[in-house]
Amino acid sequence: MSSILNWLKANPVLVAGVLAVMVPTMLLVANESWSTEQGAHGPIVLATGLWLLLREWSKARPLFEAPPAWQVAAFFVPLLLLYFISRVSHIVETEGFLMYGLVVATMFSFIGGRAITAMWFPLIYLLFVLPPPESLVAMVTNPLKIALSESAVKLLYYLGYPIASAGVTIQVGQYQLLVAEACAGLNSLISLSAIALFYVYLRHHANARYALLMFLAILPVAIFANFVRILLLVLLTYHSGEAAAQGFLHDFAGMTMFMTALITIFAIDHVVGLIWPGLKSKKAQPPAAAA
């Protein structure tokens, strides 16, 4: 920590330039994303991500080596031009990622590629602070919303409930539910991914192969958690009325979805440990010395 403070004091002009890029963009991200349900995880990810970065910084110090100036320029100049365009256009999604790219490029100019690679996990994890493009989120979640609702309707129909669906509407008894409302939890897919990766890092020391396996499990876990959410909403609507379901939707639906997802992640972690115990702890073997 003291070495970072000394570096900041020794480079006041550079620090001022980085802050001139970071502060307005992060304020925009906070106003546009962190104030919504989909981006509410941003401040938590920022705080934990900076903690992870500081934790890895001291471990990576032996690898610090300034790269050639042409390599820095090859990264920095295009990113700066694109950032300026995004800033003028007020496109928060691209502006945030380009700002982050400029910060990483600045780090790269002082510590080099080997150190950046050694700190890969916190640098990737901090990307979850920024909102993804809304068009991409909609493209991924909209088909899932329809498929999940139809699956829930079929299951409850086979269990004897008077239920049917038409387009974006679920009819159960004398009540109607909107698919978009019932499946809103899919918008928290980014939050679930961040939480799961943070859990994997703390528990398994950023084992890259195991982290990838758990990351691939995020989508089915999120789908399952939202399937449970839909079932609960439909059952509450049918048995307790629309007012009870709306109260659950606003007060407990998000908590229920996250608890379901986290318990499922813990269960997957435990089962994988039982079936494949060497996967969590197995390290990459160093290359054999030439004879």
pLDDT digits (tens, 9 = 90+) for 10-38: 667 777 878 888 888 888 888 877 777 66
229 is annotated as an active-site residue = yes
> Distance between CA 195 and CA 129 in Å, rounded?
12
> Above 80 in pLDDT, residue 286?
no
d(CA 177, CA 284) in angstroms, rounded, equals: 51
**With contact defined as beta carbons under 8 Å apart, do 248 and 235 qualify?**
no
Specify the higher pLDDT residue, 289 or 19: 19
pLDDT, residue 104, reads: 92
- Among 152-156, 189-193, 239-243, top mean pLDDT goes to 152-156
Given 55, 87, 203, 229, which residue is catalytic?
229
61 is catalytic: no
Query: Looking at the predicted structure, is the pLDDT value of residue 186 above 70?
Result: no
| 45-49, 121-125, 277-281: segment of lowest average pLDDT | 277-281
Q: Which residues make Cβ contacts (< 8 Å) with residue 90, sequence separation at least 6? A: 28
Model confidence at 3, in pLDDT bands (50, 70, 90)? low
Q: What share of the chain in percent tops pLDDT 90? A: 6
Q: Is residue 168's pLDDT more than 80?
A: no
Band the pLDDT of 1: cuts 50, 70, 90.
low
pLDDT value of residue 206? 53
CB-neighbour burial class of residue 2 (10 A; exposed 0-12, middle 13-18, buried 19+): exposed
Q: Tokens 């900076």 map to which residue? A: 50
| Cα–Cα distance, 52 to 219 (Å, whole number) | 24
Max distance between CA atoms of the chain, in angstroms, equals: 79
Kindly indicate the confidence band of residue 201, based on its pLDDT and cuts at 50, 70 and 90. confident
- What average pLDDT score do residues 220-248 get? 81
As a whole number of angstroms, the distance between CA 19 and CA 21 comes to 5
Whole-number average pLDDT of the chain: 79
Q: What is the pLDDT of residue 166?
A: 79
Residue 241 has pLDDT above 50, yes or no: yes
289 vs 97 pLDDT, higher one: 97
Q: Is-contact 53 1, C-beta < 8 A?
A: no
Residue range 200-225: mean pLDDT, rounded: 75
pLDDT of residue 287 exceeding 50, the answer is no
Burial class (CB in 10 A: 0-12, 13-18, 19+), 227: buried
Q: What's the pLDDT at 262?
A: 80
pLDDT at 283 over 60: no
Look at residue 101 in the predicted model and tell me its pLDDT.
92
Q: Is the pLDDT of residue 291 over 60?
A: no
Residue 231 · residue 156 · CB < 8 Å = yes
Please state the three-class secondary structure of the chain as a single string: CHHHHHHHHHCHHHHHHHHHHHHHHHHHHHHHHHCCCCCCCHHHHHHHHHHHHHHHHHHHHHHCCCCCHHHHHHHHHHHHHHHHHHHHHCCHHHHHHHHHHHHHHHHHHHHHHHHHHHCHHHHHHHHHHCCCCHHHHHHHHHHHHHHHHHHHHHHHHHCCCCEEEECCEEEECCEEEEHHHHCHHHHHHHHHHHHHHHHHHHHHCCCHHHHHHHHHCHHHHHHHHHHHHHHHHHHHHHHHCHHHHHHHHHHCHHHHHHHHHHHHHHHHHHHHHHHCCHHHHCCCCCCCCCC
Tens of pLDDT along 87-145? Answer: 888 777 788 899 999 999 988 988 888 999 988 888 988 988 888 777 777 777 777 77
Q: Choosing from 61, 87, 114, 183, which is the catalytic residue?
A: 183
